[in-house]
């Protein structure tokens, strides 16, 4: 087990964090590629006389305020790594990440809870080269495609290595093309089956031609992102997981996919295990609300995706956002030393 290093500064009694939403796989990059989005979960945790957990925003009606991933991972930081019991804490969460639909809400919760607990314990972790934090969150989440961008931001290419010393993970940032908008279609009703069910839909054995297809398309995807050649993205189709999941669970996927491309999207894919469908649109200059109507391609894509999904019997909404260069980051630390606060780091 990774050992945390004790920080040289006094532990705070209150910490505030922001963690981004993430979209995983990016089509052919199954279980390896993920991207942070500018939609955030805000969490404040502070020492208290009694336990308290309050939540506002997306998914609040589905989140158990007595037992959830934020509390569990905060407890792991205290008990498994700092080797001390978790004290009474007051958790205050405001969540803007769509819940339970393939936008990384569980990874954000895991990262937020563990990092908050780690800071309150007064411990730090190696991240350069060793990737200790990534290893812990991936152990909790199962794979690095959501965990890495939630921690580090941007587009991340995660790698799992198995050898005689066990399993380890590493990640590298892939350049994010400039002026990129992301359009998310999100069904109004929770449609996602359990993680076990969605992963069981993915075949364990595939044809050699399908494996070659995904290797070439994932490679081309990374090349397109690195070189800002977005015209190559449309060719980066998947054969490993999307159609297997969509055909069984998501009748809106293919209509949304077709509508997005017809409206001018550069790329469209199932976000994570779904049901959210994500489309990329380029050419954004400044805030979308200041653009002339003819340049608002993201809005047109969003409208067409909503209409296409509705025609397939699935009501939903669209969110227009952009990539986030920031992963988990501090919004404020309080009482680390007398008369000193860290705000908006």
- The pLDDT tens digits for 90-142 are 999 999 999 999 999 999 999 999 999 999 998 877 666 678 889 889 888 87
Residue 288 has pLDDT above 80, yes or no: no
Write the CA distances from 1 to 72, 104, 147, 200, integer angstroms.
17, 25, 18, 29
**CATH 3.30.230.10 domain position(s) in the chain:** 5-174+325-344
5-174+325-344: CATH number: 3.30.230.10
Identify the residue with better confidence: 336 or 223.
223
Identify the residue with better confidence: 45 or 124.
45
Q: How far apart are CA 251 and CA 242, in angstroms?
A: 12
For 285, other C-beta atoms within 10 Å of its C-beta total 10
Q: How far apart are CA 2 and CA 135, in angstroms?
A: 9
**CATH 3.30.70.890 domain position(s) in the chain:** 180-321
pLDDT class for 5, splitting at 50, 70, 90? Answer: low
Q: How far apart are CA 262 and CA 284, in angstroms?
A: 18
Q: What angle do CA 77, 79, 85 make, to 5 degrees?
A: 115
Q: How many residues does the chain have?
A: 345
Strands 123-124 and 5-6: antiparallel
Place of tokens 């005689």: 164
pLDDT tens string 143-174: 789 999 999 999 999 988 887 777 888 899 99
Nearest to 272 by CA among 108, 91, 51, 83: 108
Choose the weakest-confidence range: 56-65, 134-143, 285-294, 316-325: 285-294
Which whole number is the average pLDDT over 219-224?
A: 97
Q: What is the pTM of this model?
A: 0.90
Provide the token pair at 247. Answer: 């055909």
Identify the residue with better confidence: 306 or 296.
306
180-321: CATH number: 3.30.70.890
DSSP symbol at 27: T
Instruction: Please state the separation of Cα 138 from the chain's center in Å.
Output: 12
- Average pLDDT taken over every residue of the chain: 89
């Amino acid at each position: 087990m990774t050992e945390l290093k004790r920080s040289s500064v006094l532990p705070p009694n209150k910490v505030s964090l922001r963690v981004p939403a993430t979209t995983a796989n990016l089509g052919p990059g199954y279980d390896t590629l993920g991207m942070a989005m500018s939609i955030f979960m805000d969490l404040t945790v502070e020492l208290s006389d009694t336990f308290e957990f309050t939540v506002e925003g997306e998914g609040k009606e589905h989140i158990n305020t007595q037992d959830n991933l934020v509390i569990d991972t905060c407890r792991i930081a205290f008990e498994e790594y700092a080797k001390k019991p978790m004290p009474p804490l007051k958790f205050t969460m405001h969540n803007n990440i769509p819940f339970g639909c393939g936008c990384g809400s569980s990874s954000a919760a895991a990262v937020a809870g563990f990092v908050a607990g780690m800071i309150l314990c007064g411990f730090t972790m190696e991240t350069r080269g060793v990737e200790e934090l990534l290893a812990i969150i991936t152990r909790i989440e199962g794979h690095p495609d959501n965990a890495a961008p939630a921690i580090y931001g941007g587009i991340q290419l995660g790698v799992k290595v198995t050898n005689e010393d066990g399993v380890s993970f590493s990640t590298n940032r892939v350049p994010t093309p400039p002026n990129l908008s992301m359009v998310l279609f999100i069904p109004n009703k929770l449609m996602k089956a359990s993680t076990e069910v969605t992963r069981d839909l993915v075949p364990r054995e595939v044809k050699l031609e399908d494996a070659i297809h995904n290797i070439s398309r994932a490679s081309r995807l990374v090349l397109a992102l690195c070189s800002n050649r977005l015209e190559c993205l449309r060719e980066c189709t998947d054969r490993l997981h999307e159609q297997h999941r969509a055909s069984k669970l998501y009748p809106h996927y293919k209509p949304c996919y077709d509508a997005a491309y017809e409206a001018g999207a550069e790329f469209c894919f199932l976000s994570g295990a779904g049901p959210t469908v994500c489309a990329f649109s380029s050419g954004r200059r400044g805030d979308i609300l200041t653009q002339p109507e003819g340049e608002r391609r993201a809005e047109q894509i969003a409208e067409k995706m909503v209409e296409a999904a509705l025609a397939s019997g699935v009501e939903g909404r669209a969110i227009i956002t952009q990539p986030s260069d920031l992963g988990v980051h501090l919004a404020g630390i309080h009482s680390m030393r007398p008369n000193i606060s860290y705000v908006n780091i």
